[in-house]
Copies of this chain bind each other. A is one copy, B any other.
Amino acid sequence: MTIQEAARRSGLSAHTLRYYERIGLIHSVGRDGSGHRDYVETDIRWLAFLTKLRSTGMPIADMCRYAELRRMGEHTFAERQALLERHRERVRARIAELTEDLQVLDHKIATYGGRA
């Protein structure tokens, strides 16, 4: 699969795909005869997972750490899981924070006409 197809399927730009590879987020993408990147299905699944992590606000640095652990093999499962659990807590906290702030916003909108 070409970089353009991978871009379309992952929702990332070709620029970003190259960038992710450069920083080690996605490792050893195959090349075809002309040296062009040739993505496979597992790359797309990995990109989908990375995209989930990003969209939940995980910093690139943490994603790199996760990718590194993944490359190191199965004995890093526990650490990877711990990393995801810490992240899950952050996401939960963020949802809680946003939910609270939403109520403040609701109140502000409802009482408009009072002071700004």
Q: Are A84 and B101 in contact (CB under 8 A)?
A: no
**A:74-116 near B, CB below 8 Å:** 77, 80-81, 84-85, 87-88, 91-92, 94-95, 97-99, 101-102, 104-106, 108-109, 112-113, 116
A70 CB within 8 Å of chain B:
yes
- Looking at chain A's contact residues, the main secondary structure is helix
**CA–CA, A95 to B85, complex, Å?**
19
**CA–CA, A32 to B99, complex, Å?**
40
A55 CB within 8 Å of chain B:
yes
Nearest-neighbour CB distance to chain B for A108, whole angstroms, equals: 6
By Cβ-Cβ distance, the 3 closest A-B pairs, closest first, are A81-B112, A56-B101, A88-B105
